Structure 1
Amino acid sequence: MTRPLLLASCALLTLAAFTPALAQNKSSFIDMKDRPDFSAATVSPQIACGMLNGQSLADVTMLKATHVAMAGTLPGHCQVTGYIRPQIRFEITLPDNWNRRLYMFGNGGYAGENLAAPSRIATRDAELSRGFLTVQQNTGHDAATYKLGDFAQDLDLLIDYGSRAVHVTVETAKAIAARYYDRHPSFSYWDGCSTGGRQGLISAQRYPGDFDGILAGAPVLDLTNTQIWGVWNARALIKAPISKAQLPVLAKAVMDKCDGIDGAEDGLIADPRQCNFDPAKDLKTCEAGGSDCFTNAQVETLKTLAGGVRIKGETIFPGVQHGTEGVDASGTSGWDMWMVSEEGPSRQLAYGETFVKNMAMLPASGKAIDWKTFDFDTEYPKIGMIREIVDATNPDLSEFEKRGGRMITYFGWSDPALNPMMGVNYYESVRKQMGAERTAEFYRLFMVPGMYHCSMGYGTDVFDAFTPLMDWVENGKPPEVIQAAQVKDGKPAMTRPLCPYPQVAKYSGSGDLKDGTNFQCKMP
């Protein structure tokens, strides 16, 4: 391969790594087959699909409605697409037999997704086949036009990305449903992870009437500090890089030190906050470094990563959690590509750098900022406006609670993309604001040991949190436990109960460690 072709191939690989993907745990609804009370779809359209083409709706600049006949397991439906000013593209799918429920799913990364992407169509069709009116949107810009966060230089597009696009799209969907079926949805649900999790939380905080039930996985709720954290980590790693070859050694050292602290040597750390791993004491050191040992400079890098972002001596964002470096069944570390990349910038750096250049300094431009020389002590205090637009950190959920809203969030304890302590700290802030007992009546958090970002990892990443959410919203039954599994070759290799925080799954002391029936949810 010639050098120009090689460079072009590398560029394409780098671009593909950051193309918006469907950040979604795909296990929603797997337990619904045992719930016939959720499967009835008896409402029919009251007008022809084509009549929606003449609808006049606020800010909708184009609307196209086409009926699609039943094909295989996919039911007949009315497909509505259009644009909401200035650039929000939406898709609303209305089944011929409707279950009176609206299902809207979220976005990933800096969004701007193609709504016809195979992963998004698969999610849409799965819920459409269950009788849901399904809704999606692109957050107000096209990722093919902009490089990562470049769209944020247009304030209208940034505001749509922050929260408006979800809000105006679900309002449009409800209006179309009322016209098509001559009735409004009985229940409206949100399901998203990562950026989709942030979208769910920000809906509960700013638009508490939009959704009755919100499932928010791994929410990047403190988007501002998360992206600063990405630059901080990259700066630490550039001083003394950790190689991909060293990651399995690091993972084994952490697990050897901390696996048993939860009472079960099962290859999982139930709560990384209990792990007292010290790289200076628990790693083999050597002068030159190697695949099985670390230099003193690398040890300091690991300490910096674990210590979190410090501004003028104060920690403003938590450090990388122990266990995120762990390896899955294929031998791939959670840090691979997210923090340690030997094929261009890490994902944390790419997302963090575009944030600093396009969002952090608004209304001023940050285009001239070089992440390698970014002065955290002097530049960080200038960050202000962007927090009001994109962060979902307000702990006051009283309006969402008062109208009967219910919310479940989940986070992988081994998430290498987003700091799981962000989810824990937010939940604690809500408990402090509203009281622990009151909070548990409408909002619960489930932490997942060994799970990476939204799914995968070396823990139990297959679980249905959406069916319990529906049960809570519609029947008043809060989730006391969510059953999870690790699946290999289509079969459960390990099962484990997920517990409502702050409870954790405790081993009974006897029986197979791979069998979740030998664990019970208890207070730590």
Structure 2
Amino acid sequence: MRYPSLLVSTLLALLASIAPGVAQNKSSFIDQSDNAGFVAPTVDAQMSCQSLNSSNFSDISLLKAIHFDATDKIPAHCQVTGYIRPEIKFEITLPARWNRRIYMFGNGGYAGENLADPTRIETRDQALARGFVTVQQNTGHDAATYNLGDFANGNLDRLIDYASRAVHVVVISTKSIATHYYDRHPTFSYWDGCSTGGRQGLMSAQRYPADFDGILAGAPALDFTGTQLWGVWNARVLEKAPISKAQLRVLAKTVMDKCDRPDGAEDGLITDPRACKFDPQKDLPICEKVVSSDCFTENQAQALTKISEGVKINGEVVFPGVPWGVEGLDDGGESGWNRWIISDNGPSRQLTYGETFLRNMAMLPESGKDIDWRSFDFDAEYTKIQAIRNILDATDSDLSEFQKRGGKMISYFGWADPALNPMMGVNYYESVREKLSAERTDEFYRLFMVPGMFHCRQGYGTDTFDAFTPLIDWVENGKAPDVIQARQVKGGHIIRTRPLCAYPLAAKYSGSGDLNDGANFSCTTSDGK
């Protein structure tokens, strides 16, 4: 494989600065080109930054504007901070020369982030350096004050702001401030987020279709309610039959041996887990007399079957099971299950998030503080957990208003995501196609599934790709993306490339040539369909 030296050096420079912590893919802009219009006409500020301090904007309080000189990485800019009632904190950066675009990026988990967190500043500065007005917000609460979902208990305003309102009111205020500062309206507004940020993007398309011209919604937690119940369900199942990390490695190898080759390329990836017909009770080594880390008990095999089948309420599946491939190992030998589905240091992340949901949100308008996740009755209580769906879940398949006004949306999901079930992304996309027709959906919405990628990034597949540049190209130049080129980076080197194909297509090996060279793959109907 050969790659242009400029591309590799640019990519690695960006990746070197990435720190984990924010639910972003972190690869936006790495494939920027003049075709996407980054070199766009600019406008200069028409007033001083200081003068914004005496400007009046409705609903904004404690506004503070500070000028910052240019550095070797970012241009001179005006940083505006403030609050929108009741408790939404925001930060807007206004570059001295503006490309007339707004870039707003999302939150992770239960949000409430410190807006000065280095990982958020890194995301902000990538867009600021390219002339965007950038904006971020904390969804209306401070995570330093509230533990996970505690902010929502007994406070409907905070819950609604977290769910959808905060993004809406902040981007509206951003447009107003930018128009005032430059004496020009923004030409385009963009959203970039993954996980909670992906859900926020879908919420915007569904509930506030005029807010953004382009939305990049990565691994959206769109069925928020189902996701949290799923986490509790998995914890309940595995508490009775714990799986060790050593056994996870056996599981990962056994699944890969069963499901890698049938997709046409023995490359250490499962192209579409739906085509993987793995049966834990038949395919795993079952311990006969001595229990060891090299085999599984009957109870463990049954537990694995149960979580692969999904959450069942009165015998009916209401949320999909964990796909095969999520247990796969990254370059460091860590399974996707580690920390998310199992943990040898306290509860798993799935359980932690699910329990705080049950205690603080699920029983709206009642408090659930006394709920015990171990004794929670799924069958009896499920009908009580429906009011919250109308607030938190981004599952409305009617995107007709977003489509009518010319909005474009790209979504991506790792097939090996252990935090958020990738079938959510597939099922939602299919529901939109069913609602609006496949042809109409293709005009404004594309989904890209990423084999081997964990939550938003990392994993054992090609997790490094720029979906934001194609989004701009689509919005501004009308070029719909059929393929996004992706890479896998190890030790500072690109070790594999692979095309990501617009769903329902998937990358298929030609039958000859280097398996690590994406040029030897083409997009065809997925084996899982």
* Range of TM-score over shorter length: over 0.9
Write the letter of the residue equivalent to 1:176.
Answer: I
Which residue is 2:514 aligned to? 512
Q: Distance in 2 between matches of 1:369 and 1:489?
A: 46
Which residue of 397, 400, 424 corresponds with 2:399? 397
Q: Distance in 1 between matches of 2:291 and 2:209?
A: 53
Which residue is 2:504 aligned to? 502
Which residue is 1:355 aligned to? 357
Write the letter of the residue equivalent to 2:279.
Answer: D
Q: Distance in 2 between matches of 1:61 and 1:504?
A: 49
Contact persistence 2:106–2:136 (CA under 8 A): yes
Q: Distance in 2 between matches of 1:289 and 1:212?
A: 57
**Offset of residue 34 of structure 1:** 5.5
Does residue 479 (structure 1) correspond to residue 478 (structure 2)? The answer is no
Q: How many residues align?
A: 505
Which residue is 1:304 aligned to? 306
What secondary structure, in the 3-state scheme, does the structure 2 residue paired with 1:331 have?
coil
Which residue is 1:82 aligned to? 82
Which residue is 1:13 aligned to? none
Alignment of 1:128-167 (within 5 A): 128-153=128-153, 154-167=155-168
Which residue is 2:200 aligned to? 199
Does residue 173 (structure 1) correspond to residue 161 (structure 2)? The answer is no
Alignment of 1:68-467 (within 5 A): 68-153=68-153, 154-286=155-287, 287-467=289-469
**Offset of residue 409 of structure 1:** 0.2
Write the letter of the residue equivalent to 2:60.
Answer: V
Q: Distance in 2 between matches of 1:380 and 1:139?
A: 27
**Offset of residue 58 of structure 1:** 2.4
Which residue is 1:15 aligned to? none
**Offset of residue 407 of structure 1:** 0.1
Q: Which TM-score applies when normalising by structure 1?
A: 0.95
Q: Distance in 1 between matches of 2:99 and 2:223?
A: 35
Residue by residue over 1:78-106, the C-alpha shift from the partner in whole angstroms, topping out at 9 and shown as x without a partner, is: 00000111110000000001111100000
Which residue is 2:24 aligned to? 24
**Offset of residue 125 of structure 1:** 1.1
Write the letter of the residue equivalent to 1:500.
Answer: A
What secondary structure, in the 3-state scheme, does the structure 2 residue paired with 1:163 have?
helix
Q: Distance in 2 between matches of 1:379 and 1:48?
A: 57
Q: Distance in 2 between matches of 1:500 and 1:87?
A: 39
Residue by residue over 1:197-254, the C-alpha shift from the partner in whole angstroms, topping out at 9 and shown as x without a partner, is: 0000000000000000000000000000000000000000001000112111100000
Write the letter of the residue equivalent to 2:147.
Answer: K
Contact persistence 1:39–1:131 (CA under 8 A): no
Which residue is 2:16 aligned to? none
Q: Distance in 2 between matches of 1:285 and 1:256?
A: 17
Does residue 55 (structure 1) correspond to residue 55 (structure 2)? The answer is yes
Contact persistence 1:28–1:464 (CA under 8 A): yes
Residue by residue over 1:468-509, the C-alpha shift from the partner in whole angstroms, topping out at 9 and shown as x without a partner, is: 000000000000100000011222100000000000101101
CA 1:146–1:288: 2 relative to 1, 3 Å: farther
Q: Distance in 1 between matches of 2:337 and 2:174?
A: 39
**Offset of residue 289 of structure 1:** 2.9
Q: Distance in 2 between matches of 1:406 and 1:359?
A: 32
Q: Distance in 1 between matches of 2:36 and 2:27?
A: 18
Residue by residue over 1:133-170, the C-alpha shift from the partner in whole angstroms, topping out at 9 and shown as x without a partner, is: 00000000000100110011111100000000000000
Which residue is 1:12 aligned to? none
Q: Distance in 1 between matches of 2:163 and 2:55?
A: 27
Percent identity (aligned): 70
**Offset of residue 33 of structure 1:** 4.4
Q: Distance in 2 between matches of 1:487 and 1:384?
A: 43
Contact persistence 2:102–2:133 (CA under 8 A): yes
Write the letter of the residue equivalent to 1:233.
Answer: N
Q: Which TM-score applies when normalising by structure 2?
A: 0.94
Contact persistence 1:320–1:419 (CA under 8 A): yes
Residue by residue over 1:379-416, the C-alpha shift from the partner in whole angstroms, topping out at 9 and shown as x without a partner, is: 11111221111110000000000100000000000000
Q: Distance in 2 between matches of 1:302 and 1:512?
A: 35
Contact persistence 1:21–1:113 (CA under 8 A): no
CA 1:181–1:319: 2 relative to 1, 3 Å: same
What secondary structure, in the 3-state scheme, does the structure 2 residue paired with 1:79 have?
strand
Q: Distance in 1 between matches of 2:346 and 2:476?
A: 48
What secondary structure, in the 3-state scheme, does the structure 2 residue paired with 1:513 have?
coil
Contact persistence 2:192–2:217 (CA under 8 A): yes
Q: Distance in 1 between matches of 2:147 and 2:331?
A: 33
CA 1:463–1:36: 2 relative to 1, 3 Å: closer
Write the letter of the residue equivalent to 1:180.
Answer: Y
Q: Distance in 1 between matches of 2:230 and 2:82?
A: 37
Which residue is 2:45 aligned to? 45
**Offset of residue 55 of structure 1:** 2.2
Contact persistence 2:36–2:472 (CA under 8 A): no
Q: Distance in 1 between matches of 2:360 and 2:430?
A: 31
Residue by residue over 1:165-206, the C-alpha shift from the partner in whole angstroms, topping out at 9 and shown as x without a partner, is: 000000010000010000111000000000000000000000
Structure 2: gaps (5+ residues): 1-19
What secondary structure, in the 3-state scheme, does the structure 1 residue paired with 2:78 have?
strand
**Offset of residue 288 of structure 1:** 4.8
What secondary structure, in the 3-state scheme, does the structure 2 residue paired with 1:38 have?
coil
Once the two structures are overlaid, the 10-residue window that deviates more, 244-253 or 208-217, is 244-253
Q: Distance in 2 between matches of 1:262 and 1:327?
A: 19
Write the letter of the residue equivalent to 1:388.
Answer: N
Contact persistence 1:259–1:265 (CA under 8 A): yes
CA 1:234–1:36: 2 relative to 1, 3 Å: closer
**Offset of residue 41 of structure 1:** 5.2
Contact persistence 1:21–1:109 (CA under 8 A): no
Contact persistence 2:330–2:460 (CA under 8 A): yes
Q: Distance in 1 between matches of 2:90 and 2:225?
A: 26
What secondary structure, in the 3-state scheme, does the structure 2 residue paired with 1:348 have?
helix
Q: Distance in 1 between matches of 2:161 and 2:73?
A: 35
**Offset of residue 364 of structure 1:** 1.1
